[in-house]
Amino acid sequence: MRLTVFGATGSTGGPFVRQALEAGHEVTAVVRGEPTALIDRMQGTPGQFLAVRADLMNPVEIEPYICGRDAVVSILGSAGRGPSTVRERGARSVTAAMSKTEVRRLVIVSVSAAYTEVKDDPFARFVVKPLVRRILKHPFTDARAMERVVRDTDLDWTIIRPPRLTAGELTRDYRIGVDKGLRGAYRISRADLADCLIGIIDDPDFHRATVSPGY
């Protein structure tokens, strides 16, 4: 598939790009800063890779890098705990550009702890998530706003809500919950999250669904 990725320079974006290339996908990474470092990181990885610099919040500027692609993957996030609208503004820009270019498939990464899910166990529902929400109030507000933007479109979207992300290895030994969360899932490695993203990109069973991966 021909993929356009936003957030490729992040801790999850890097593993995603590498795994997507190794899986035979053609990847275009649109970044806010200089793409040189990302290009260097991908040296030696097989497949077709292009990294370009553009204003991610300008739909007109990113349209050329979405046009003709099979899917868009957004792994945008904000650094720190302060107020941020990176996810929401990024979602507005990306979905607007997709509507203009008639590209329909969108996979976007959110966060599990921002929501109370049907399948949450009591420890997650009453202890873990309330605590984390107090600490990460502003990033979670941004994530919820992002999801509202995506859900209001007619795109073939999938929202991924991972639990706590770790620097662990790729295991492919994770579970997936659809639309109702995943009971007992408190963590997943960034490498396995990237694997999950790649696995559902071309699967229509996950269109307009919320996916919760975890161990």
Q: What is the pLDDT of residues 3-28, one digit of tens each?
A: 999 999 999 999 999 999 999 999 99
The whole-number pLDDT of residue 131 equals 87
- Tokens (6 digits) for 198: 């790649």
- Write down the pTM of the prediction: 0.94
> Which positions ≥6 away from 90 have C-beta within 8 Å?
6, 56, 57, 74, 76, 146
Q: What is the pLDDT of residues 38-89, one digit of tens each?
A: 999 999 999 999 999 999 999 999 999 999 999 999 999 877 888 889 999 9
CA distance 86 to 3: 21
Please state the rounded mean pLDDT for residues 169-193. 96
Closest to 170 (Cα-Cα) out of 12, 45, 41: 12
CA distance 36 to 39: 5
The domain tally of the chain equals: 1
The whole-number pLDDT of residue 149 equals 98
CATH of the domain at 130: 3.40.50.720
Beta-bridge partners for 176: 213
| Residue numbers of the domain that contains 52 | 2-214
